[in-house]
Amino acid sequence: MSGAWEVALAELQARLPAGRLLAGDGDALEPYGLDESDLGCFPPGAVVRAENEEDVRIVLEVASRHRVPVVPVGARSGKSGGSLAIQGGIALSTERMNRILEVSGEDLVARVEPGVILATLQAEVEKHGLFYPPDPNSLETCTIGGNVAENAGGPRALKYGVTREYVLGLRAVLPTGEVIRTGHRSIKGVAGYDLTALLVGSEGTLAIVTEVMVKLLPRPRHVATALVAFADVDAAARAVSRVLAQGVIPRCLELMDDVSLAAIARTSPGRFPAGAGALLLVETDGNDEEQVFDEIVRVADLVAADARGEVLVARDEAQRREIWEVRRYLSVNLKAIHPLKLSEDVAVPRSKIPEMVARAKAIGAGLGLAVATYGHAGDGNLHCNVLFDTAAERPRVDQAVAAILRAAVELGGTITGEHGVGLAKRDFLELEQGKELVALQRRLKAVFDPLGILNPGKIFPPA
Amino acid sequence: MSGAWEVALAELQARLPAGRLLAGDGDALEPYGLDESDLGCFPPGAVVRAENEEDVRIVLEVASRHRVPVVPVGARSGKSGGSLAIQGGIALSTERMNRILEVSGEDLVARVEPGVILATLQAEVEKHGLFYPPDPNSLETCTIGGNVAENAGGPRALKYGVTREYVLGLRAVLPTGEVIRTGHRSIKGVAGYDLTALLVGSEGTLAIVTEVMVKLLPRPRHVATALVAFADVDAAARAVSRVLAQGVIPRCLELMDDVSLAAIARTSPGRFPAGAGALLLVETDGNDEEQVFDEIVRVADLVAADARGEVLVARDEAQRREIWEVRRYLSVNLKAIHPLKLSEDVAVPRSKIPEMVARAKAIGAGLGLAVATYGHAGDGNLHCNVLFDTAAERPRVDQAVAAILRAAVELGGTITGEHGVGLAKRDFLELEQGKELVALQRRLKAVFDPLGILNPGKIFPPA
């Protein structure tokens, strides 16, 4: 370790209140070197568990002075390696900044610290009859700070939009230690550049968020859930288009392809009609129970022409849970067939869903690999899972992933619909956006972080 | 005129196809010196009416080389002076780039050039059974390019959101002449920084947009409209809160205060119940006629406790038009009482609507001026109109405006909910955002526009 590092650590030790700094203890640091990607373990040199904005400010000020990398860390549930300390330095965790500061039913607004777990916020606002829609799969563990960093989505994004649509304002500390406040408590506002939107999805490379003001909705009082089988993905995709073209926007429209279905069938044999090669999980919601039920029946009618067998509509909460278990245990079931998988999260224009699924399958087949595709069909956000059995297959898997990302871009889509670029996809950003646009973004990064100390090596390919 | 200017003009004359450049003819240039603000006439030194992206590129390249200001111009319907050539130079008009390039019902996407008039786009997508929600009052004349520059809203923003929520991607030319493409055709996508959101609302100071890809929705097939009178703004604001708290999100909730009502009463005497001091115009929409009607009845029930007299629900298109005329002729009716008015567009948290209206009135009263407030109550975006009779009153009017903007910021809101900062409010930006945040934005501007040639003097206070 360099002299600057030792001095920086000593300064942090002196300036931070007791209990904030973790250093020197490898066992304590190691968990901070992992996230939900499979990119390996990159333990930081030290961890600071900030308890307030002042702690964050001190860390960034000291790190700036000594040119030490700082990596913001939340629940470490990210899938693209965004919180890995690939250049060492300080992992700045906001997990202890977990207070819900305010829930206002009058203004339909909540103010929270970044370490609040998403499910905790949702439960709290629901007590007030309110609703915070974004629902990434990790909602029981992920934090709002991470959601803001990644612009998290989830199934309900189809009807309700992603995190960016709900963030009204932020407090954040720049890498220089300067505190900024963006946005406003009003729903509308166009003064100056939209720095709030620029920070949302910036993957912890521009600033460390210390407070988030989100917009809330009244909670829809009723939800209806249905499961529909189809002969193949094409038929399911046709059904999705027909539903949306009729102006019915369900709160989710989740697709599972034949490989996914085969995995599910292992634990639920005989559950789906013979010849089924795709599933759609549909939910509608609203305040009038009858209307919500009418709407799901309308969806069932619209998809009937393409469906295989009966549309299964949940009659009660137990049946709803049962339907969702099909989706929830999908990952586990896939691993029972192939112990390893690499999950991509491309997004394509809606009309390209069948072609994207077919291309992913063909890419896998060409390399001797099975690919299971499932995801948020309503908005074209597909999780293509490349399945494999041993680490030795990894080079082929990486080839498949690269080809899948290329296909998504060729179809007018993106390499990442909701997981972020992080470390995992930084070498593919130019493929989607071109060298010039990436260069422009590097220059924007330098405005916020002139010394390049904040989450270095992320998003952009190594120069 | 400087030598550089003459050389730049000569180069433009040589490089642009015939008919693009207007110079030397004061009468032809003068209309390009005006917009819908009352800030005066600032004719540019020359106008280029671009017909394609290459024209735009040439202008910016030449202007960069000779350090000549370039001001992007659309329909000149802006209210904050954003398109005024306050430092002379070239007005770059995109009014002739007015082709609708594509409407895709399959992907729910349209691609258009910036000069397309909003109403034209809306009519075109409606032919396909589709819907583009943003609806600023100027929709018959304003262009999509201007809507993107200002992040335009309108009454329907309550349910459907503002322009930013509909822009999926952009093509644009940087002041350096470099062409960039942001975003993607897929609904979702989180690769890199959200440059699309950064450009939307940047008021023509970062880049000139040459193509816009917007998200569309299926067109709601039915609309119901109602007009409700209240004793005062407090009662109307209570009604707004009660409606929203019940999870009913109408597509608009427009408020008019007592001064507005008095103006309307001049041309529609006896129309409103005695003692009425505020009006709400409510609309619900959807695909099921019965549901839409049920919803407006539900709204009527919810507001009944606070309302004065009967809720007037339109039974047919003629009655709908009649109700909207109340709102549409408001501005004309106000001018019949006081020939001059200055219209602000603050936005405040919903709970602060009564206080904002009361403060605006008190500020006016203290200066001997009437203030009429109306606007989009559902999202707290209020148009406070300071009314006056002669230009001699202007200093007092400016004092009133400054106090109104300060009040909005004090109440947790913003100086501009949808009109933009432009020239009109540049001296108030720091009041809302502080010196540091404004300095940060100047540095971001310099990344896009290192020479400071694009729309100079806008948004930021003079240094």
User: How far B245 CA lies from chain A's nearest CA (Å)?
Assistant: 6
What is the amino acid identity at position B185? R
CA distances from B288 to A295, B221, B293 (A): 10, 7, 9
Pairwise CB contact (< 8 Å): A433 & B191: yes
pLDDT of residue B375: 94
State the DSSP H helix or E strand holding residue A152, giving kind and residue range, or none if neither. Answer: none
Confidence tier at B282 by pLDDT (50, 70, 90): very high
Judged by DSSP in three states, A113 sits in coil
Rounded distance between C-alpha atoms, residue A172 and residue A202, angstroms: 12
Average pLDDT estimate for B263-279: 83
Chains A and B form CB pairs within 8 A to the count of 250
How many helices (H) does chain A have, and how many strands (E)?
15, 19
Tell me which chain B residues have a C-beta less than 8 angstroms from the C-beta of A447: 440, 443-444, 447
How does the average pLDDT of chain B come out, rounded? 95
> DSSP of A236-272, one letter per residue?
HHHHHHHHHHTT---SEEEEE-HHHHHHHHHHSTT-S
Q: Which of A245, A432, A447 sits opposite B191 (nearest CB)?
A: A432
Pairwise CB contact (< 8 Å): B247 & A185: no
What is the amino acid identity at position A385? N
- DSSP-assigned beta bridge partners for residue B217: B131
pLDDT of residue B41: 96
Pairwise CB contact (< 8 Å): B184 & A412: yes
User: In angstroms, how far is CA B90 from the centroid of its own chain?
Assistant: 24
Q: Percentage of chain B with pLDDT > 70?
A: 100
Nearest-by-CA chain B residue for A80:
B191
pLDDT of residue B246: 85
- Per the listing, tokens 């954040």 go with A172
Rounded distance between C-alpha atoms, residue A448 and residue A199, angstroms: 10
Hey, what are A367's tokens? 């390399």
A414 touches chain B (CB under 8 A): yes
Tell me which chain B residues have a C-beta less than 8 angstroms from the C-beta of A186: 347-349, 379-381, 412-414, 417
- DSSP-assigned beta bridge partners for residue B381: B347, B376
> DSSP of B249-304, one letter per residue?
--SEEEEE-HHHHHHHHHHSTT-S-TT--EEEEEEEEES-HHHHHHHHHHHHHHHH
Rounded distance between C-alpha atoms, residue B29 and residue B89, angstroms: 11
CB-CB neighbours of A435 under 10 Å: 10
Nearest-by-CA chain A residue for B222:
A247
Collect all residues with Cβ–Cβ distance below 8 Å to A301 and sequence separation of at least 6.
Answer: none
Rounded distance between C-alpha atoms, residue A395 and residue B322, angstroms: 69
CB-CB neighbours of B317 under 10 Å: 10
Judged by DSSP in three states, A136 sits in coil
Rounded distance between C-alpha atoms, residue A43 and residue A35, angstroms: 11
Report H helices in B151-288.
157-160, 195-199, 233-245, 258-267
Quick: pLDDT tens for B101-158. 999 999 999 999 999 999 999 999 999 999 999 999 999 999 999 999 999 999 999 9
B290 touches chain A (CB under 8 A): no
Rounded distance between C-alpha atoms, residue B397 and residue B344, angstroms: 11
Interface confidence, given as ipTM, is 0.96
What is the amino acid identity at position A183? G
B138 touches chain A (CB under 8 A): no
Q: What is the pLDDT along chain A (463 residues), one digit of tens a residue?
A: 578 999 999 999 999 999 999 998 889 999 999 999 989 999 999 999 999 999 999 999 999 999 999 999 999 999 999 999 999 999 999 999 999 999 999 999 999 999 999 999 999 999 999 999 999 999 999 999 999 999 999 999 999 999 999 999 999 999 999 999 999 999 999 999 999 999 999 999 999 999 999 999 999 999 999 999 999 999 999 999 899 888 889 999 999 999 999 998 887 777 778 889 999 999 999 988 998 999 999 999 999 889 998 899 998 889 999 888 888 788 888 988 899 999 899 999 999 999 999 999 999 999 999 999 999 999 999 999 999 999 999 999 999 999 999 999 999 999 999 999 999 999 999 999 999 999 999 999 999 999 999 999 999 999 8
Pairwise CB contact (< 8 Å): A347 & B107: no
Of A79, A103, A190, which to mutate for an interface test with B (greatest number of B Cβ within 10 Å)? A190
Strands (E) located in B96-139: 100-104, 109-112, 130-131
Q: What are the backbone angles phi and psi of residue A27, rounded to the nearest 5°?
A: -65, -35
Cα angle for residues B165, B167, B171 (degrees, 5° grid): 155
Pairwise CB contact (< 8 Å): B181 & A104: no
Nearest-by-CA chain B residue for A243:
B218
pLDDT of residue B170: 98
- DSSP-assigned beta bridge partners for residue B228: B280
B102 touches chain A (CB under 8 A): no
Query: Domains plus CATH for chain B?
Result: 3-93 (3.30.43.10), 100-218 (3.30.465.10), 222-331 (3.30.70.2190), 338-420 (3.30.70.2740)
B455 touches chain A (CB under 8 A): no
Pairwise CB contact (< 8 Å): A192 & B434: no
pLDDT of residue B1: 52
Judged by DSSP in three states, A394 sits in helix
CB-CB neighbours of A34 under 10 Å: 17
pTM: 0.97
- Per the listing, tokens 């039915």 go with B222
Rounded distance between C-alpha atoms, residue A180 and residue B437, angstroms: 6
Of B288, B311, B183, give the one whose Cα is nearest residue B239. Answer: B311
Which residues 171-200 on chain A approach chain B with CB closer than 8 angstroms? 174, 178, 180-182, 184-195, 197-198, 200
Cα angle for residues A357, A360, A362 (degrees, 5° grid): 110
Quick: pLDDT tens for B249-261. 999 999 999 999 9
B187 and A380 in contact (C-beta within 8 Å)?
A: yes
pLDDT of residue B347: 98
Hey, what are A80's tokens? 């693209």
Pairwise CB contact (< 8 Å): B189 & A413: yes
Of B159, B187, B249, which to mutate for an interface test with A (greatest number of A Cβ within 10 Å)? B187
CA distances from B335 to A219, B265, B331 (A): 43, 13, 6
Max mean pLDDT range (A73-77, B286-290, B341-345): A73-77
Of B186, B196, B443, which to mutate for an interface test with A (greatest number of A Cβ within 10 Å)? B186
